Structure 1
Amino acid sequence: MKVAILTFARTNNYGATLQCYALSKFIEQCGHQTSIINVPLMKAGAPRKKSFVEKLMSKMHGYFHQYEKRYHRTTEELQKDREYDRQNMLLFDDFRSVYFPNLTHEYLTEADFEKDFPQADLYVVGSDQVWNLWVTNIQYPLFFFSFLKHREKRISYAACLGGDRNFKFENEELNSIRNLLADFNGISVRDTTGLSILKEKFNIDATQVLDPTFLINSYDELLKDSSVDASCSLFSFKFIINDEWVKVIKYLAEELSLNIRMDTCLIHIKGLPFKPLCTVQDWLKLIKTSDFVFTDSFHGMVFCIIFKKQFIVTPSYKGGEERYMDLALKLGLEERVYTSPKEIFLSNKWKNVIDYDAVYKKLDVLRENSKKFLTQYLIQNINP
């Protein structure tokens, strides 16, 4: 069976890249042939506009939550950042050239699909925030398979609509998405926010499944390509970094008597090691070999669970905490989720050792149910 996957395959992001790798790998392990539809996100087109109330609330939130602000960057520093980004892109391209040999050529618009249509028996969209219109912008119809004919078999796997259950759809968007979803053979999402939005806005009862990174049993194929060793270290992987969070990082390292690793961080912080370039394989190995992980990345949290690491996760923006807490509650890990530096300083619960035997009893059930949802569609001529 030929299966075409549509996700963020060309994003230079560790989590997005690895969820694509895992979904493709799992489907191949089930005995099927995969291709990855290459739809790079365009910057063209006007971004979605916030209402006056949304802008006001955002400013008020920023005033009272200074720890969500990034360091101010000088022009010279921004130029260095762009160079690091360019070099990191080459590292991600190297990864894709080896592990995504089935990546198609670029499709940017529906017109591109009309010229050269990717043939498959099943089309799968997901995971990651493929249904978040803040991310996909004017390309959003493509991620609801607007380019497919009505007869083509299609499903979503662990699609995410973003963290805002109060997201305001335009009427045109609502009608367009409603019509496109009507052609889906199966719909699954990654979090309860997605379940709520689909039910409230489109009257669809979707299935909740795990992120595809949980579907495969081993990442040894990638880990063997890295010589990184972060033992006796606290690995900090954060998108938001500022003085408040640096204090937390140093506090955690001191409390745990660990060295600090901040690989991938583009900001050179005095007194801390600086290594801005990091391969996908090294990023995985840093989590795998470290003693403790401090992150605001959803997939950083996921791989801590996969590798059974001690960790703290701090959602990087208001409204983004639901996907972290959603997974944490299902696995009994809510004590690992914090929303501010103050919460960490005032709590000792993060020092408790995670009972991964108990976590995996719950995870194994969720994993089996997630596999069942996907594999039922991986049968030729079966249309659940």
Structure 2
Amino acid sequence: MEDCRQNLEKEVSLMKIGIMTYHFCSNYGAVLQAYALKRFLEARGHHVEMVDYRPPNDSGALGHNLRLLLQEGYIRLMNRYSSFRLNGKFADFRRTNLSLSSMHYNSLEELKRACPEYDAYICGSDQIWNPHGQQFHEPYFLTFVPEGRRKFSYAASFGTPVLEERFRAPLQKYLQGFSGISVRENSGVDLVRDFAGKHSIQVIDPTLLHDDYSELYKNKHYPANYLLVYRLQQSAPLTRNLTRLIRHVALELNLPVYSISPQRFRFFLETGKTVYPTPAEWCGWIANASFVITNSFHGSVFSILNRRPFLSFPRVARDGQNDRITDLLHDFSLDDRYILPEEIDSFRIDTLAAYQENLIRERLSAQRHKAAEYLQNQLEMDVK
């Protein structure tokens, strides 16, 4: 009887949890995946904070050399201006919805010197393990956490299906002491196994854990009918083709176009009317759209969650770099929503298959169960 009581107490014990992720970016997917994981854990009674770590080079500050800024040209200058319009809105969302740690950190040394106190530390999601061709960013492997503390990843992403050999030793070193490793893409499972010799599992992006985002935008107002474009920065050839697709669909559906982009540096002129929503309003723009066109993983995620008609377009031309979008679409039997540049001229809206509602519900339920089980096991596991 005593053992049963102890097991029950263990199952319902609440924890103070710290999340290490890209919460500071003026990027809708980044802040909303942080919000979703926080909400998921809070719904189970835990107290959750974002470790307020911000690398110095990601502060989003305006360059000091005005002459160089002006030399960038009108489009870049206006894009810098638009980023400032967005930064304040993202900062307000973080303050209101993300429960930032009381201390602010700018370096690994600061994290080690004044390590925030939590019962469990989680790194993820988003591309926190992307070396960007240079090196891993060590704090996102929780190396500042004292030995013996509970730490694990949730849906961490490398942002690439391949790594150079020089990343083998750092990855092996940084993943020591993890009680569990989960990654967002199937390719990440292969990288963890092949480079670090460790077991990991693939789990869904945190934004798919949370079902109803209307809590964020229920008092907002949107146009009656519109085509929403949410696109991230890409190469000039892909940008031209994406613009061609937007015009093709807008003409076929006879819809006005509203365009959103969080990029600080944009090398294209927006198609349609540009809007600058808060992260909360962004959810509503997708939920209320008549049609969505996006080259973003999270743009595709929120289109699926809201069952919006949509098309996904490649963001980069390199093989394997669009896997997270194509894998997502394949998981929900929505492969026909992915359109390539050479398919634009012959594309027709009425060729898109309808959502298979039962299939989507079943697969989403199964993936959520897998993720919840992983998180529960990690939080209940004895730390040695």
TM-score over 0.5 for the alignment? yes
2:318 is the alignment partner of 1:322: no
TM-fit CA distance, 1:264: 3.8
Alignment of 1:127-138 (within 5 A): 127-134=125-132
Whether the 8 Å contact between 2:242 and 2:313 is mirrored in structure 1 is no
Q: What do the CA deviations read for 1:144-181 (whole angstroms, capped 9, x no partner)?
A: 11111220111100000112x222142xx422321221
Change (3 A) 1:350 1:195: farther
Whether the 8 Å contact between 2:337 and 2:352 is mirrored in structure 1 is no
2:288 is the alignment partner of 1:289: yes
TM-fit CA distance, 1:358: 2.1
Structure 1 residue identity aligned to 2:174: L
Gap runs ≥5 in structure 2: 1-14, 59-70
Cα distance in 1, alignment partners of residues 132 and 102 from structure 2: 25
Instruction: Pick the aligned partner of 1:2 from 8, 13, 16.
Output: 16
Cα distance in 2, alignment partners of residues 183 and 351 from structure 1: 47
Q: Which is further off, 283-292 or 111-120?
A: 111-120
Change (3 A) 1:251 1:145: same
TM-fit CA distance, 1:268: 8.1
Partner of 2:187: 193
2:113 is the alignment partner of 1:115: yes
Structure 2 residue identity aligned to 1:82: R
Partner of 1:50: none
Instruction: Pick the aligned partner of 1:16 from 27, 30, 38.
Output: 30
TM-fit CA distance, 1:222: 0.7
Structure 2 residue identity aligned to 1:18: L
Whether the 8 Å contact between 2:33 and 2:205 is mirrored in structure 1 is yes
Change (3 A) 1:87 1:100: same
Change (3 A) 1:160 1:269: closer
Cα distance in 2, alignment partners of residues 186 and 96 from structure 1: 28
Whether the 8 Å contact between 1:141 and 1:177 is mirrored in structure 2 is no
Q: Which is further off, 256-265 or 114-123?
A: 256-265
Structure 1 residue identity aligned to 2:260: D
Whether the 8 Å contact between 1:35 and 1:104 is mirrored in structure 2 is no
Partner of 1:343: 343
Instruction: Pick the aligned partner of 2:41 from 27, 50, 56.
Output: 27
CA RMSD between the two structures: 2.4
Structure 1 residue identity aligned to 2:111: F
Q: What do the CA deviations read for 1:89-132 (whole angstroms, capped 9, x no partner)?
A: 11101111111233443322221023321001110000000111
Partner of 2:257: 260
SS at match of 2:379: coil
Instruction: Pick the aligned partner of 2:100 from 73, 83, 102.
Output: 102
SS at match of 2:109: helix
Change (3 A) 1:182 1:83: same
Partner of 2:152: 155
Structure 1 residue identity aligned to 2:169: N
Q: What do the CA deviations read for 1:33-58 (whole angstroms, capped 9, x no partner)?
A: 111112213439xxxxxxxxxxxxxx
Cα distance in 1, alignment partners of residues 375 and 346 from structure 2: 42
TM-fit CA distance, 1:230: 4.1
Whether the 8 Å contact between 1:84 and 1:276 is mirrored in structure 2 is no
Count of residues paired in the alignment: 348
Whether the 8 Å contact between 2:131 and 2:137 is mirrored in structure 1 is yes
Cα distance in 2, alignment partners of residues 75 and 298 from structure 1: 29
Q: What do the CA deviations read for 1:232-270 (whole angstroms, capped 9, x no partner)?
A: 211111124733222210111122232212134768858
Q: Which is further off, 185-194 or 310-319?
A: 310-319
Cα distance in 2, alignment partners of residues 335 and 10 from structure 1: 34
Cα distance in 2, alignment partners of residues 23 and 9 from structure 1: 11
TM-fit CA distance, 1:276: 4.3
Alignment of 1:362-381 (within 5 A): 362-379=363-380
TM-score, structure 2 as length reference? 0.84
Whether the 8 Å contact between 2:257 and 2:273 is mirrored in structure 1 is no
Change (3 A) 1:231 1:195: farther
Cα distance in 1, alignment partners of residues 219 and 279 from structure 2: 10
Partner of 2:75: 77
Whether the 8 Å contact between 2:204 and 2:371 is mirrored in structure 1 is yes
Partner of 1:361: 362
Whether the 8 Å contact between 1:4 and 1:124 is mirrored in structure 2 is yes
TM-fit CA distance, 1:198: 0.9
Cα distance in 1, alignment partners of residues 249 and 306 from structure 2: 20
Partner of 2:65: none
TM-fit CA distance, 1:369: 0.9
Q: Which is further off, 366-375 or 260-269?
A: 260-269
Cα distance in 2, alignment partners of residues 235 and 219 from structure 1: 18
2:263 is the alignment partner of 1:249: no
Partner of 2:307: 308
Q: What do the CA deviations read for 1:325-356 (whole angstroms, capped 9, x no partner)?
A: 11222211111122x32223334475332223
TM-fit CA distance, 1:226: 2.6
Change (3 A) 1:268 1:199: closer
SS at match of 1:43: helix
TM-fit CA distance, 1:225: 4.7
Cα distance in 2, alignment partners of residues 194 and 86 from structure 1: 34
Partner of 2:6: none
